[in-house]
Structures are given as structure tokens and as C-alpha cells.
Amino acid sequence: MGILSKDLLLGATEVPTQEVAIPELGGAVVVRGMTAKERTLFEKRFVTEHRGKVKRNFDDFREQICVACVVEPRLTEADIAKLAQVRADVIERITNVAMKLSGITEKDVDELGLSSETPTPTSSSSSASPAN
């Protein structure tokens, strides 16, 4: 396997999609992976910094990834509370595909969720790497 040219690497902008069957409901949804920027912004939703401490909050993680990645039917932030009431097996199936298409591993989620209060280096930046 050869080394990619810069143009080939930077041209890799087509994000994969996958239809996810939901036989329990008699249909399917279309899930789209995230770009690098979309993933960064997504991860930042779960990490905040206040007074030098990083706080991680994974409330609605599965619902948020469904909103970020389900493109048919299109979901919005207003749907999060209703998504929380959907059968767990259905949401988990969608979440697993969304994570796979976005290159998010269980290890990535574990790293994002490290201790709820972790001291951060003094900096003017409010972002925590690699979180969105």
C-alpha cells in the first residue's frame, strides 16, 4: 500500500451512510457518520471547563448521537426528550452504527468520560482534547 498524496487525503470528504433496519417498527432509518469537525463539536457537548476543572456529563449521549447522525428521518435537539423514551434496544442499534460510521470506539467514550472532575492546565482555551 502506497503513501497517499495530500490531495487524496484532503479529498476524503465523503462521509459514509448506512440504512439501519428497525424491524420492530416496520422500517429503517438512515445514519450518517460525522466529519472530523462534526465529531469535535459533538464531543465538546459533553465536556465543560469551570474554574480549572473539567466536568464531563454524558446525559443524553445516545440521544445526542442519534440527533447528530440520523439523517432520515431528520431529528433535532427538540426530539431529545422523546428519544429518551424510545426502546433502549432501538436507540442502542442506531447508536452503535453512528459510532462505527464516525470512528468512535468504546475506548474513545471511556476516555471522554474519565473522572468527573479532572484538573486542567492553565490556558485561555476552553476546549478539552479531543472532546467537542
Domains, the chain, ordered by start: 16-114 (3.30.2220)
What is the rounded CA–CA span in Å between residue 127 and residue 132?
7
Q: How far is CA 81 from the centre of its chain?
A: 17
Identify the band that residue 38 occupies on the pLDDT scale cut at 50, 70 and 90. very high
Q: What is the mean pLDDT of residues 73-97?
A: 97
Identify the band that residue 52 occupies on the pLDDT scale cut at 50, 70 and 90. confident
Tens of pLDDT, residues 57-79: 778 999 999 999 999 999 999 99
Greater confidence (20 vs 1) lies with 20
